[in-house]
Structure 1
Amino acid sequence: MAKKVDDDGANSGIWKMVYADFTTAMMAFFLILWLANTASDAERDLLADYFNPISISRDKSGSEGVLSGKTNDSNGSQTNDSADSQQAVPVAAAATTQTDTGPSALEDLSVGSGESGADDGLAALEQKLRVAFEQRVDPLGLNDVVYVERRDDAVYIQIHDDRAFSMFDVGQATLTPQAQQLFVALGEVLRTVPNVVRIAGHTDASGFRNSARGNWELSSERANAARRVMESAGLQADRIEAVEGRGSRELFVPARPEDPRNRRITVSVHANVAASGDLLFSRSQ
Structure 2
Amino acid sequence: MAGKDDNTRPIIIKRKKIIAGGHHGGAWKVAYADFVTAMMAFFMLMWLLNATTDKQRKGLADYFSPTIAFSPTSGGGDGALGGRSMSADASRIQMGRGGIAPTNANGTTEEDATLAALEAAIMGKGGDSLIDKDILRHVTVRLTDQGLVLEFFALPGSPLFTNDAPTPLMRDLLASVVPELSDLPNALAIEAFAASEPLVTRDPQVWPVTQQRADIIRRTLPELGLSSRRIVRVTGHADHRPVAANPLSARNDRIELVVLRTTVPPREAWR
Normalised by the length of structure 2, the TM-score is: 0.54
**Residue in structure 1 matching 2:252, options 262, 266, 274:** 262
Name the residue aligned to 1:244.
Answer: 235
Count of aligned pairs between the two proteins: 169
Extract unaligned runs of 5+ from structure 1.
Answer: 1-81, 86-112, 281-285
Q: Give the distance between the partners of 2:241 and 2:152, measured in 1 at CA.
A: 14
- Measure how far apart 1:124 and its partner are: 2.8
- List structure 1 segments (4+ residues) > 3 angstroms apart after TM superposition: 82-85, 132-135, 207-213
- Shifted more, 185-194 versus 197-206: the winner is 185-194
Alignment of 1:59-70 (within 5 A): none
Q: Is the 8 A contact 1:192 1:279 kept in 2?
A: no
Extract unaligned runs of 5+ from structure 2.
Answer: 1-51, 56-97
Name the residue aligned to 1:214.
Answer: 205
Q: Is 1:192 aligned with 2:187?
A: no
Higher radius of gyration, 1 or 2: 2
For residue 116 of structure 1, what is the amino acid of its counterpart?
Answer: A
Cα gap change, 1:184 to 1:250, in 2 (>3 Å): same
Cα gap change, 1:157 to 1:174, in 2 (>3 Å): same
Q: Is 1:160 aligned with 2:153?
A: yes
Deviations 1:132-172 (A, max 9, x none): 46443126x11111111111221111000112421012xx4
Cα gap change, 1:115 to 1:215, in 2 (>3 Å): farther
- Kindly, what percent of the aligned residue pairs are identical? 20
Cα gap change, 1:227 to 1:114, in 2 (>3 Å): farther
Q: Secondary structure at the match of 1:136?
A: coil
- Measure how far apart 1:173 and its partner are: 2.4
- Measure how far apart 1:178 and its partner are: 2.2
Q: Is the 8 A contact 1:197 1:268 kept in 2?
A: yes
Name the residue aligned to 2:214.
Answer: 223
Normalised by the length of structure 1, the TM-score is: 0.52
Q: Give the distance between the partners of 2:237 and 2:135, measured in 1 at CA.
A: 24
For residue 195 of structure 2, what is the amino acid of its counterpart?
Answer: D
Name the residue aligned to 1:56.
Answer: none
Name the residue aligned to 2:101.
Answer: 116
Cα gap change, 1:150 to 1:198, in 2 (>3 Å): same
